[in-house]
Chain A
Amino acid sequence: MNKRFTTRRAVIQGLASSAAITLAGCSTSEPPTYGNVLRMGDWLTYNAHRLLLPRQSLAREYDVRDISAAPAIGTTDPSDSSQTGFVQEFAEDYSRFLHDGFDDWRLTVEGSVATPSSFSLEDLKRMRSRTQITRHTCEEGWSAIMQWTGVPLRAVLEAAGIKEDARFVQFHCYDAFVDGIDMLDALHPQTILAYGMNGRELPIAHGAPLRVRVETQLGYKSMKFLRGLVVTSEFDDNGPYGMIQNGYSWYAGI
């Protein structure tokens, strides 16, 4: 990366963190809470969308003929130590899954649920399924249309029993990223945990064995390589593993 750009970013981050001191009084438990002047716009966007837009409108769905070439970016194999977010413990687990065809893989569901549970891939495939052909809108600027098959997140959460105080769902992944969405998006009919892509098993580069699809937000919220879900009653920026620490907006419905 060009050094000049890195310096500029450092300056902006410096400005932002000095602004954080003045904004500290505005901090609440509502997202985004990260006390950064740049986040005021994200905060306005999130609240304006939630206040003004009809709730849970469906993203456009396309015809099978519209399915396009699809780049896979970010982590494309969590067992590859050269990739960002590599964690030895997760990589060892993931290598074992690759070897055994994900037979031992389980999705844990914890937090504000009546029964903390875990599901095998077969368990999830036995639940109701939804297939949708949607546009993946990458934050970089490109887009692709793909077909996804999976279980609605709502069905999985309901199987574990959603508690009254549930407000966010956090996705913990084998590439070490953690990110979350609010319950409105979590219970959206098109928010699915996908195990199939374009009529086949989900390829490794696209997040095998299971990824989330959040069709009303930018692509980075559709986390790959799922390990577990945590339902929370409070907002969590997920520390160094959250996208916010990389400078990205928590809300990406833009």
Chain B
Amino acid sequence: MGVIEPVMPPTPQRHALWVRICHWLLALSIFTLAYSGFYVLMAHPRLYWGEVGNDLTPALIELPLNDNHRPEAWQQTVTFEALANKPISASRTMEIFNENGWARSLHFLAGWFFVAAGALYFALGVITKHVSRDLWPRRPHAVPASAYSPLQRYAYTGVAFIVLPFMVLAGLAMSPQVVAAFPALLSVFGGHQTARTLHFFGFVVLLLFVVGHVAMTVRSGFGRHMRAMIVGR
């Protein structure tokens, strides 16, 4: 036939309805997890390695978020002389910034949403082959030019199948009830405070991903991408 197909610029991915719903549910829950998690961190902005860490022990990292850690806030009251390492105990004499009452509850509410939406995404992603066709890293010449690039594929699969599940496991490793039931989880992470520190590092990685993800969207046509992720075209 004599008609020549016009060369069109690569169009953004057409997103199925379930992809769009899962994307926004996950985006909302991850934003809420980050927001509430940061409030929880602010109550004690010190990070440690191993099982134990508190205001009376040295920190691995001290984040300058507030003045909750003040040596003058602690009155030494007792030394347990009979024990080999003579542990001390001290009483806190000042109020600290602590919004954990609502922040932790919001964190877990968002966590449940995240787990539900993540499970739905994973199940449908496998059933519809969205994961294997569109996301899983493969050789560049094996896919059409309009599809995700290798770097995008590594970033998406790395976040979806490594970083986010890791965050859930590191979070569970901080739960007294869960690690009582599954002590191996605590052992794998190497202790409660190590899990907490790694949970924070995971947050930093996700923050970098979101910054990159949003920057890429803006650079390659924000309106077009938003339309694709909201109405599907």
Contact = CB atoms under 8 A, between A and B. Distances in A.
Interface string B101-132: 11011111111100000000000000000000
Interface residues of A, number: 61
Nearest to A77: B91
Interface stretch (B50-58, B139-147, B148-156, B219-227): B50-58
Interface residues of B, number: 56
B99 interface: yes
A206 B88 CA distance: 12
Interface stretch (A22-30, A54-62, A158-166): A54-62
B80 A198 contact: yes
A142 B54 CA distance: 5
Contact of A248 (B46, B101, B110): B101
Interface in A129-181: 135, 137-145
Interface string A1-12: 110010001001
Contacts, number: 179
Contacts of B34: none
B57 to A, nearest CB: 5
B57 A140 contact: no
A38 B178 CA distance: 21
A252 B40 CA distance: 15
B204 interface: no
Contacts of A13: 102
B101 A203 contact: no
B22 interface: no
Contact of B92 (A9, A53, A72, A217): A72
A199 interface: yes
Given A53-B178, A215-B176, A254-B176, A69 B111 contact: no
A246 B101 contact: yes
Contacts of B111: 41
A45 B171 CA distance: 13
Contact of B44 (A65, A141, A144): A141
A198 to B, nearest CB: 4
Interface in B27-73: 40-41, 43-44, 46, 51-57
A128 interface: no
A79 interface: no
Contact of B54 (A58, A69, A217): A69
10 tightest Cβ-Cβ pairs between the two chains A and B? A247-B101, A41-B109, A253-B177, A141-B44, A69-B56, A142-B54, A41-B108, A38-B105, A76-B91, A198-B80
8 contacts: A9-B99, A40-B112, A60-B180, A64-B84, A69-B87, A76-B91, A139-B104, A203-B77
